[in-house]
Amino acid sequence: HRGPAPLDLTPAPGASPPAGAEVLPTGSWRMAAGTRVTDLPGFAEGRFWVQDAAAALPAMLLAPRAGERIADLCAAPGGKTAQLLAAGAVVTAVERDPSRAARLRENLARLHLSAEVVQADAATWAPAEPFDAILLDAPCTATGTIRRHPDVAHAKRPRDVASAAEAQCRLLAAAARMLRPGGRLVFATCSLQPEEGEAHLARAAGLGLAHEPFAPAELPGLPEAITPAGCLRTRPDLWAERGGMDGFFAVRFRRAA
């Protein structure tokens, strides 16, 4: 948490990394801490976007396919939406906050990508028809991002964990209702707290969602981030020799047919 965070980029298809970038095994480009992204060649042209290497994993593990109808819930600032679009999916990006929804649209415009952006609360919004797959990166206490946001360690209180977990339960239940039978769902948070991560495994069973474990082969160069239960759990000390990564949790479910 005390170490400086490098600048990680997710490339657009066919883009070449800028000089000085380290290409990580998971596909992200890593620049030295303190790099100004707007100074990099290719930024204005939309050849990449800022996204911590750990934050890029949930969309990758959803394994989006061309032509699939996918919802990105709580979508701003849009990095995961961009990943889904780059894979050829037809994406509906849902974001509750008006200013964050506007930022999402701006980021997609720079990347020359187009999604249906819906300004709504994902916990109560209902689509016209169910989705093939859903990515839910739920609001959380963000305890996995303290190296980027040190105020988190001082601003969050124990009761905030319980409150966040309750909100995540509502979002997970809503996502399950939006998913077609047999469809898949990746739930993620940037929290290190088990109440906002592993605890959702037991809660999902009552929503008609079956846990579909991740396999180490799905995560090149980072098998240690797959837990014995088949979830994703990254921490700031992983890849320490490369500069670490944010703390993230992700789990994949499939809705009962």
For residue 86, how many other CB atoms are within 10 A of its CB? 18
User: Dihedral of CA 112/115/119/122: which sign?
Assistant: negative
Domains, the chain, with CATH or none:
52-255 (3.40.50.150)
Report the mean per-residue pLDDT for the chain. Answer: 97
Give percent of the chain above pLDDT 70.
100
How do residues 43-80 score in pLDDT, each as one tens digit? 999 999 999 999 999 999 999 999 999 999 999 999 99
- Measured CA to CA, the distance from residue 209 to residue 182 in angstroms comes to 9
Say if residues 219 and 248 touch (Cβ distance below 8 Å): no
Enter the pTM of the model: 0.97
Question: Comparing 3 with 42, which gets the higher pLDDT?
Answer: 42
* The two structure tokens encoding residue 167: 């909100």
Q: Are strands 7-11 and 29-31 parallel, antiparallel or unpaired?
A: antiparallel
* The two structure tokens encoding residue 211: 């846990």
| Type of residue found at 120 | A
Q: Which of 74, 140, 169, 190 is catalytic?
A: 190
Say if residues 256 and 249 touch (Cβ distance below 8 Å): no
How do residues 120-170 score in pLDDT, each as one tens digit? 999 999 999 999 999 999 999 999 999 999 999 999 999 999 999 999 999
Establish whether 190 is a catalytic residue: yes
CA-wise closest residue to 52 among 195, 168, 148, 130:
148
